[in-house]
């Protein structure tokens, strides 16, 4: 075991600060409670109770330590070497996707898709918000899917008097489904993107290894939570009245979609997507009547959170690489799912990709575990803070309990774990049509009639 004296004091301090930041994340509910009970210093307690502030605050403490220990050049040099493209991109995509023109297009898409779902309109929108939209994250990126899904659910579920159980169950399924829903392609999910180029993964491989399993898990999770809360969803639908919608002209919607597509295509080129974002801001100013308030504050807070995670997480390489390189394939999968709860899953897979000479089983276990555990906490997956910021005002004291989020996310996480671990290529034999036809031909006609008879009876009962 490596002795403490052999470790750099900077890394030890950074590890301690990272641990304090994680503990602070799970304590924000307490600070928000203090803000409502100890009003003399309510501002301070509100600041410490903002989840989006936590990692930025402790990152600032780390920078102060680096400046005191090695001078300002050491601190500024560390910042210069850090990569802040992802926080900037999440900020931009969150603001653009939350705009009225983009949301009008997505709402229309969800409404049209809802006509194909044999459920009441409000219930089908809820189901599609937890299934279709997260799967679209494989094409529009996970941060965009999280923003769109959270806004869709906020207007349909979280805006009313939904029960606490429904809110947390919905949030847990949303976070898990967005984390795994981006694995149909190789460029949308941050933990997949971090390793795809180095390991030579393309979209075809990612879909065959992860995508179809993720799609099954997403549909199962969305179906289960919709079924469990079907009565409350139906009652809420009867109590809600349709609100008049201010329509945005189709040409303006089209221009915004083109800008959004350009931002997504240039997600790794900050100069390009920031330029497109400035164009978007100009359009929103020129056509104010077709825009609601832009989510600039919420986007900046989420960007601050992710930037703090980058600063603190950059000093954890020595610890995580040592842990990952010493695990076997099965332990790695479950270890990655657990570590993701306290470490951004993209950072986890990136550090795992630095371990040389690993097997294909190692690669699969690392990425599958990382995406499966991406909904357990707000820091587990980069898009989670965006959903957190959009939905937190709907909870008591404007705060989401990290503990209850963890509890709510565990069941859908277990479904994802089963799909990634329990399903394999042999499972596809279940869907082998030729094998099923051959089996049916071997059955006695009388038995076949008895087998089919209950189906119309059950359909009539539904």
Tens-place pLDDT, residues 305-356: 778 877 887 776 666 666 666 677 888 898 889 888 887 788 778 777 767 7
CA 358 vs. chain centroid, Å, equals: 27
Average pLDDT of the segment spanning 52-80: 85
Q: What is the pTM of this model?
A: 0.74
**Most confident stretch, 141-150, 202-211, 382-391:** 202-211
Q: What's the CA gap between 387 and 167, in Å, rounded?
A: 13
Please state the φ and ψ torsions of residue 49, each to the nearest 5 degrees. -90, -5
Strand, helix or coil at 120?
coil
Residue 193: predicted pLDDT? 79
pLDDT one-digit tens code per residue, 134-178: 998 888 788 888 888 998 888 777 776 788 899 999 999 999 999
Q: What's the CA gap between 172 and 190, in Å, rounded?
A: 19
Q: In the block, which residue shows the tokens 């965006």?
A: 386
Structure token pair of residue 149: 């899904």
Q: Are the CB atoms for 256 and 96 separated by under 8 Å? A: yes
């Amino acid at each position: 075991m490596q002795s403490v004296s052999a470790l750099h004091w900077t890394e030890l301090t950074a590890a301690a600060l990272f641990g304090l930041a994680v503990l602070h994340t799970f304590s924000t509910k307490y600070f928000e409670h203090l803000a409502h009970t100890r009003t003399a210093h309510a501002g301070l307690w509100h600041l410490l109770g903002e989840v989006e502030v936590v990692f930025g605050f402790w990152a600032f403490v780390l920078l102060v330590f680096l400046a005191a220990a090695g001078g300002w050049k050491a601190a500024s040099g560390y910042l210069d070497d850090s990569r802040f493209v992802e926080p900037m991109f999440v900020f931009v995509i969150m603001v653009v996707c939350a705009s009225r023109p983009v949301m009008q297009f997505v709402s229309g898409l969800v409404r049209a898709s809802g006509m194909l779902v044999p459920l009441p309109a409000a219930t089908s929108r809820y189901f599609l918000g937890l299934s279709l939209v997260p799967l679209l994250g494989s094409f529009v990126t996970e941060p965009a899917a999280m923003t769109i899904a959270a806004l869709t659910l906020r207007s349909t579920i979280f805006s009313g008097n939904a029960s606490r159980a429904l809110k947390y169950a919905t949030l847990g399924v949303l976070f898990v489904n967005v984390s795994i829903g981006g694995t149909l392609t190789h460029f949308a999910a941050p933990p997949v993107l971090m390793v795809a180029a180095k390991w030579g993964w393309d979209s075809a491989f990612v879909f065959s290894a992860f995508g179809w399993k993720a799609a099954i898990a997403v549909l199962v999770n969305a179906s289960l939570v919709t079924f469990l809360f079907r009565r409350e969803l139906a009652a809420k639908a009867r109590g809600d009245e349709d609100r008049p919608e201010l329509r945005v002209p189709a040409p303006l919607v089209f221009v915004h979609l083109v800008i959004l597509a350009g931002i997504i295509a240039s997600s790794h080129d900050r100069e390009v997507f920031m330029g497109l974002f400035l164009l978007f801001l100009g359009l929103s100013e020129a056509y104010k009547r077709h825009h609601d308030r832009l989510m600039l504050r919420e986007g900046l807070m989420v960007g601050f959170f992710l930037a703090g995670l980058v600063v603190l997480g950059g000093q954890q390489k020595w610890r995580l690489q040592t842990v990952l390189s010493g695990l076997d394939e099965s332990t790695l999968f479950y270890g990655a799912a657990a570590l993701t709860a306290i470490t951004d899953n993209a950072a986890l897979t990136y550090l795992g990709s630095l371990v040389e000479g690993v097997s294909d089983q190692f690669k699969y276990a690392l990425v599958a575990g990382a995406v499966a555990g991406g909904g357990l906490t707000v820091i587990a997956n980069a898009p989670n803070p965006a959903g957190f910021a959009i939905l937190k005002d709907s909870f008591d004291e404007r705060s989401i309990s990290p503990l209850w989020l963890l509890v709510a996310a565990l069941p859908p996480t277990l479904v994802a774990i089963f799909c990634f671990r329990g399903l394999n290529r042999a499972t596809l034999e279940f869907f082998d049509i030729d094998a099923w036809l051959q089996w049916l031909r071997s059955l006695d006609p009388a038995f076949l009639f008895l087998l089919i008879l209950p189906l119309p009876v059950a359909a009539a009962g539904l």
